[in-house]
Amino acid sequence: MEKEKLLNHIAPCSLLCYTCTAYAEGIICQSANTLLHHLDGICEFNQIHNLSSVSNTKTLLNELEMYGAGLCSGCRNRTHHTCSIQGCFILECTKEHFVDFCGECNEFPCTQTRGIFEDEVYQKWLNGNQEIHDHGIEQYWNSHCKESHYNAYKRGI
């Protein structure tokens, strides 16, 4: 994949925008819209055939519409306004240091990020940037583009 596309899909902190529920060009938004397309008419089908799952299906379709909305344009685009990490300064910091990712910075790992990340996300930031530093973004992408964005929370429970 070309570097520009990788940069759009991977935030400067190493988290993958591509797998985030809010990212308009991400797999979740695309998949939700694909499912919505293929489920078009399912509520009416269920009603005609007296299937008891009509209300569950409506709930599913509402959730898919929410995930298909794609409200974020990515962390490298400051018009996104939906980052769940309050006070995130990493985009500005990487620009100031003339790098694309924290892991490419001479000051990595810095102590500034500890204050903005939850423990699970901090560890993901640390590991992701170390991997980018050691192996480059293309290998990082290939290793992580099919993982859940939220798997750190599952393991943290």
pLDDT in tens, 121-142: 888 899 999 999 999 999 999 9
* Domain boundaries along the sequence of the chain: 3-150
Between 15-29, 43-57, 136-150, the lowest mean confidence (pLDDT) is in 43-57
Q: Kindly report the pTM of this predicted structure.
A: 0.85
CA angle 120, 6, 90 (to 5 degrees): 45
Q: Average pLDDT of the chain?
A: 88
Q: How many CA atoms lie within 13 A of 87 on its CB side?
A: 7
